[in-house]
Structure 1
Amino acid sequence: MKEFESRFSELQADIISICMEYVGGRADKVYVYASCEEGMISSSFYYLINNKYVECHKVNDALRDGDERYDASPERQFMVLNIINEDIEKIAELCKAQDHEMPTEMKLIYNAMSGKFQADYKYNLVHTNDDVKTADDFADEWFEGIKTSNL
């Protein structure tokens, strides 16, 4: 049991780590939405930088005058998303091997200022049961909710 929790935590830490690497460690908070339903994996990542909530492709919009720009190229975004998705696959394999239920939805929040990490998991089908919304829609709605509640 301990081994499972340790490995599960390690993989989540790797997800946060690659997101922090993307911004050179210069973010106040990192938000990651991950979905794994019926063999389909999807993820999105967002930030709070200089009191501005931004999507990963808009991180430079949060910079102050004189701040060094981020490399927010599509190649780097896809690199981060690929690593997140690989980690989610590893979590799924870990859950299966250890006979644990795999979360269908993971919402991760890392506060770089305090070092606090929050995770929220769902185990029921989310977007698969929705005729209209995709995993990306749920991710964007979650991030919009974060912006309005200042999480």
Structure 2
Amino acid sequence: MKEKEFEDYFTELQADMISIALEYVNNDADKIYVYCSYEPEVYYFNVFYQIKGQIVHKHELNNIFKDTYDTSIERQKVVMKVGREDLEKILGACVEYKREMPTEMKLFYDVNLNKLQGEYKYNLIYSQTDDLLPNDIFNRWMEEIKN
């Protein structure tokens, strides 16, 4: 199959991840940060936001913006489920198009500029360690952005 078809599909799935993350905050974010990871048989997806100058995790939105968002466990599960499903579809596309699957994707979406950027890694990051989990890497990235 053609190179362009893979790139289109890959971009479409990343855009879907951003879309579900934006929907979660009622389209009310300045920046969205999506972290995805796939290391053999482990899928990980999570998101945090910049809203009104504050960096905030999806479950902490109402700590800062009192009762503005539906941060119910059910709603968070939907976001996580859609993100993981998109990640599984990306793996499927990589297999179909004989491409290497990224082990890590850091997506950054500037809502105001409508600009999506991504950083990708292809080496194992946590599965070969005894003390590192994908959530640790996600939290580390969030702290880097805060600082």
Find the counterpart in structure 1 of residue 101 from structure 2: 102
Rounded Cα–Cα distance in structure 2 between residues aligned with 1:104 and 1:89: 12
Find the counterpart in structure 1 of residue 24 from structure 2: 22
Q: Deviations over 1:22-44 (max 9, x none)?
A: 01100011101111001110111
Shift of 1:110: 0.4
Question: 45, 63, 69: which one pairs with 1:61?
Answer: 63
5+ residue gaps, structure 1: none
Sequence identity (%):
44
Secondary structure of 1:118's match? strand
Q: Does 1:42 align with 2:41?
A: no
Contact 1:50 1:62 in 2 (8 A): no
Secondary structure of 2:12's match? helix
Q: Does 1:138 align with 2:137?
A: yes
Rounded Cα–Cα distance in structure 2 between residues aligned with 1:113 and 1:74: 28
5+ residue gaps, structure 2: none
Q: TM-score, normalised by structure 2?
A: 0.96
Find the counterpart in structure 1 of residue 74 from structure 2: 75
Q: TM-score, normalised by structure 1?
A: 0.93
Q: Does 1:12 align with 2:11?
A: no
Contact 1:33 1:108 in 2 (8 A): yes
Secondary structure of 1:126's match? coil
Q: Deviations over 1:3-35 (max 9, x none)?
A: 000000000000000000001100011101111
Rounded Cα–Cα distance in structure 1 between residues aligned with 2:89 and 2:16: 11
Secondary structure of 2:46's match? strand
The code of the aligned residue for 2:54 comes to: K
**4+ residue segments displaced more than 4 Å:** none
C-alpha RMSD of the superposition: 1.1
